[in-house]
Amino acid sequence: MELIGAIQQEDAGAEIEVLSSDQGSRQDIPLWVKKAGHELVKVEEGSEFDRYLVRKTH
Amino acid sequence: MKRIVVLGGGIGGTTVANRIQRLLAREIEQGQVQLEVVDRDGIHAYQPGYLMVVFDKMRAEETRQDEARLLHRSIRLVKAEVEKIDPAGKKLRLKGGQEVPYDLLVISTGSVLHPELSPGFAEGSHSFYDLDNALRLRDALRQFSGGKIVVTVAGMPYKCPVAPLEVTFMLDDYLRARGLREKSEIHYTYPIPRVFGIETVAPVMQRLMTERGIQTHTPFNVQKIDAAAKKLQGVEGDTLDYDLLVGIPPHRGADLLGASGLGDKGNWVPTDKFTLKAEGQSGIYVLGDATNIAISKAGSTADYEAETVAQAIAAEVRGVPPSARYEGRVYCWIMTGLAQATYIKFDYLHPPHPPAPSFAHYWNKMVYNRVYWDMTARAMF
């Protein structure tokens, strides 16, 4: 949810970091980033939350 | 004398002012504290009523009251547009140049609709997030004789996250009642890969949609709307044509927050999710839609946050450290038809589990629509 809001507010080229403890995010974030044509730079899985770094490409 | 200024006369600003009044009644009466609400027009809107107006469940005039009637008589109402907040000088600058100094400030400026940020939205989409558009949609539905209805969300974040679900279920019921459902299609699009943000709620809503023949398209982020061709184009490459489009317009925080150096890129104020203090500022609290907290932008959020902010303000006035914390409480009814509803109740640690839709929950919501003014705005509880 917050990732999409952040992507909409940032300029192309910006990198957005998402911290999520939501299990569904492991599937949803990579799926959406690919579908929308952005770039998933990094995923770090953690015990309390996962960290995703997404670059807005357009 | 301490000056407490509440900026904004919506649900958050009104209820927090009335709560502060109750906690500091003696100090206000003795002139040690002055409590003011600064509001653009002095009209208080009950925004959840707009969806009700679309389906003839409330009349337009039932969604607004004079702010002055809702505030305790000891609270001063200043009707003015604020141009800038000066956090260093602790004052507001009003349009026209007048200044309002404060010792403690509560920002409750809500969210602002920006249909122009979504290409084609203003020309091509109906909406129900303000009264004029709700009335226009009501009238369009009265003329509707069947066809393809698409419900979409043109920007994140948006207020009342359940509203797209509600309008979809209500449309389905409305068309059935008029014998138009078989001549119609209802399509629901949502920006993330499920029909609602909260994981425990999405499957329940998806099931209701499937049962009712509502087609879902996720993830779907609006790229542009072609009003002439009646086409909705998604960022992910899908295109949907429509006869009637009902969209949620993009939202931003109030411009003055960006102009005052208090907002992020979307003009939302970085806010501590527990204390509700504006980050990096002193004497400024934020509640309701204006915060950047990753929680529903909803009236009930503002109402629960107001309890925390009022207690914190009272503590600061009395010179004791504020101890109240906002734990992320939210309570929202979800209309699942014209005369049935469920609800979600949750906080930061406990996700919601909506009960089966029923007439009783719907009835509670309808009662709430009427008692809102006393119970919530005047902070009866």
- Per-residue pLDDT of B280-335, as tens digits, reads 999 999 999 999 999 999 999 999 999 999 999 999 999 999 999 999 999 999 99
Yes or no, beta carbons of B192 and A32 under 8 Å apart: yes
Rounded to a whole number of angstroms, the distance from the CA of A24 to the nearest CA of chain B is: 7
ipTM of the complex: 0.77
Yes or no, beta carbons of A27 and B237 under 8 Å apart: no
- Copy the structure tokens of residue B10: 């919506």
Domain B114-250 in the same topology as domain B2-110+254-329:
yes
The H or E element spanning position B257 is: helix B255-259
Q: What are phi and psi of B223, to 5 degrees?
A: -95, -55
What residues contact A2, with CB distance under 8 A and at least 6 apart? A18, B156, B157, B294
Yes or no, beta carbons of B236 and A36 under 8 Å apart: yes
Smallest CA–CA distance from A58 into chain B, residue = B235
Rounded to a whole number of angstroms, the distance from the CA of A32 to the nearest CA of chain B is: 7
Contacts of A12 in chain B (CB under 8 A): none
CA gap B153, B248 in Å, rounded: 5
Whether B260 and B85 have beta carbons less than 8 Å apart is answered as yes
Extents of the domains making up chain A: 2-55
Least confident of B135-139, B227-231, B232-236, B307-311: B232-236
CA distance to B20, B72, B303, B319, per residue, from B28 (Å): 10, 11, 22, 16
CA distance to A11, B44, B163, per residue, from A23 (Å): 28, 40, 25
How many beta-carbon pairs below 8 A join chains A and B?
46
| Residue where the block lists tokens 């629960």 | B304
Contacts of A35 in chain B (CB under 8 A): 219, 236-237
Judged on CB neighbours under 10 Å (0-12, 13-18, 19+), B26 is exposed
Is the CB of B211 inside 8 Å of chain A's CB atoms? no
- Copy the structure tokens of residue B277: 């203090």
Rounded to a whole number of angstroms, the distance from the CA of A41 to the nearest CA of chain B is: 19
Kindly report the length of chain B.
Answer: 381
For residue range B238-264, list pLDDT tens digits in order.
999 999 999 999 999 999 999 999 999
Contacts of B294 in chain A (CB under 8 A): 1-2
Rounded to a whole number of angstroms, the distance from the CA of B217 to the nearest CA of chain A is: 13
Nearest CB to A8; choose among B156, B192, B237: B156
Mean pLDDT of chain B: 97
Q: What are phi and psi of B202, to 5 degrees?
A: -55, -45
The answer to whether residue B381 scores a pLDDT higher than 80 is no
Whether B155 and B117 have beta carbons less than 8 Å apart is answered as yes
Give me the residues paired with residue B78 across strands. B38
Is the CB of A14 inside 8 Å of chain B's CB atoms? no
Domain B2-110+254-329 listed as CATH 3.50.50.60 = yes
In CATH terms, the fold of domain A2-55 is Translation Initiation Factor IF3 (3.30.110)
Give the per-residue pLDDT at B154: 96
Q: How far is CA B210 from the centre of its chain?
A: 28
What residues contact A56, with CB distance under 8 A and at least 6 apart? A7, A10, A11, A12, A13, A14, A15, A16, A38
Mean pLDDT of chain A: 88
Least confident of A5-9, A49-53, B130-134, B358-362: A5-9
Amino acid at B323: S
The answer to whether residue A22 scores a pLDDT higher than 90 is no
Kindly report the length of chain A.
Answer: 58
In CATH terms, the fold of domain B114-250 is FAD/NAD(P)-binding domain (3.50.50)
Extents of the domains making up chain B: 2-110+254-329, 114-250
